[in-house]
Amino acid sequence: MSLPLKRLKQTRCFLLDMDGTVYLGDKLLPGARELLQWLTEHQIPYLFLTNNSSKNKKEYAQKLTRLGLPTEESQIFTSGDATIIFLKKHTPFQRIYLVGTPALEEDFSSHGFILTDQDPECVVLGFDTTITYSKMARLCQWLVTGIPYIATHPDINCPTETGFIPDIGSMIEMFAASTGRRPDHIIGKPNRPMVDAIAEKVSIPVNQMAMIGDRLYTDIAMGASGLLTILVLSGETTPAHLSNSSIQPDLVAPNLAGVVDWLKQPLP
């Protein structure tokens, strides 16, 4: 048995990407149900981890439960959650100009932040599927003043059943073209603030966790922080993308069913 497979068998916490890994749109992907059943039976904790900050924990838990995977809100961790933790732990900011969905606004407000477009101390860019031109113009106005600028995650596209739609990484490039500013901090996968927030939440060393996802530059790049990484080819990454990438996973499976097969293998 290879070293990565041995590490997989010894993993104490699994981090599961959602879009393109567990589901696409409203379609559950192969192996998702079986993997969670195996982890539950063996009392191994797992978190659903997503960079998609357009929804909150409640919405994700409801969706997974609707798809046949009963899920508690405590089992969801988003880049929005990690951004809130980062702001509270590392900054004094309270007044935020937030470009985000009503769900993200609700999360920030529930943690005591004042959301305003008048004299904010910081701007936060989330994946805003409700974005308007007036929001974009206002953000640009604040960015040129030099105000601190944080983005929840770096994803360029968001996968859907019908193809990709522009995500926050595309917005970052647009705002950079307009203002010359790029975020001072990008929080979500694969960046260290996301990893540190997860390790604190689960109280398990990073080198005893495994990240399973479909995207090289976010999910698999988390391996730089010491996690075991498993690429599934059920979402964004194709074999051609993988062969041409400088970012390489520890293991590759066609989907989560392949991960279940490995976990069921007895140790030699």
Please report the pLDDT score of residue 163 as a whole number: 80
Using CA atoms, how far apart are residues 172 and 181, in angstroms rounded to an integer? Answer: 9
In whole numbers, what is the pLDDT of the chain averaged over residues? 94
| Burial degree of 180 (CB within 10 A; 0-12, 13-18, 19+) | exposed
Distances, alpha carbon 85 to alpha carbons 105, 125, 224, in Å: 15, 15, 21
Find the mean pLDDT for residues 141-166: 91
pLDDT band (50, 70, 90) for residue 85: very high
8-65 per-position pLDDT tens digit: 999 999 999 998 899 988 899 999 999 999 999 999 999 999 998 998 899 999 999 9
Q: Which residues are part of the catalytic machinery? A: 17, 19
Q: What is the pLDDT of residues 193-208, one digit of tens each?
A: 999 999 988 999 999 9
Residue predicted with more confidence, 153 or 163: 153
Task: Please report, as a single letter, which amino acid is at residue 165.
Answer: I
In whole angstroms, how large is the CA radius of gyration of the chain?
19
Pairwise CA distance, residues 176 & 59, whole Å:
31
Strands 149-151 and 122-125: parallel
d(CA 31, CA 260): 7
Identify residue 163 by its one-letter amino acid code: G
- Can you tell me the mean pLDDT for 138-157? 96
- Tell which residue, 24, 21, 55, has the closest CA to residue 36: 21
In the structure, what pLDDT confidence band is assigned to residue 1 with cuts at 50, 70 and 90?
A: low
Q: Are 209 and 11 spatial neighbours (Cβ–Cβ below 8 Å)?
A: yes
- DSSP secondary structure string for all residues of 122-133: EEEE---TT--H
Please give the average per-residue pLDDT across 213-221, as a whole number.
94
Query: From CA 87, how far away is CA 78, in angstroms rounded?
Result: 14
SS3 content of the chain, % helix, strand, coil (to 5): 40, 20, 40
Q: For residue 266, is pLDDT > 90? A: no
**Beta strands per DSSP E along 88-227:** 95-99, 114-115, 122-125, 149-151, 157-160, 163-166, 185-186, 209-213
State residue 24's pLDDT score: 87
* Whether the predicted pLDDT of 101 surpasses 70: yes
Look at residue 229 and tell me whether its pLDDT is greater than 70. yes
pLDDT reading at 236 higher than 90: no
Question: N- to C-terminal Cα distance for the chain?
Answer: 7
Task: Return binding residues for Mg(2+).
Answer: 17, 19, 214
Q: Write down how long the chain is.
A: 268
pLDDT above 70 as % of the chain: 99
Question: What was the pLDDT predicted at 19?
Answer: 86
Whole-angstrom distance, CA of residue 149 vs CA of residue 125: 8
Domains and CATH numbers, the chain: 1-21+219-268 (3.40.50.1000), 83-186 (3.40.50.1000)
- Lowest mean pLDDT: which of 70-79, 117-126, 151-160? 151-160
Binding positions? 17, 19, 189, 214
Residue ranges for the known binding site for substrate are 189
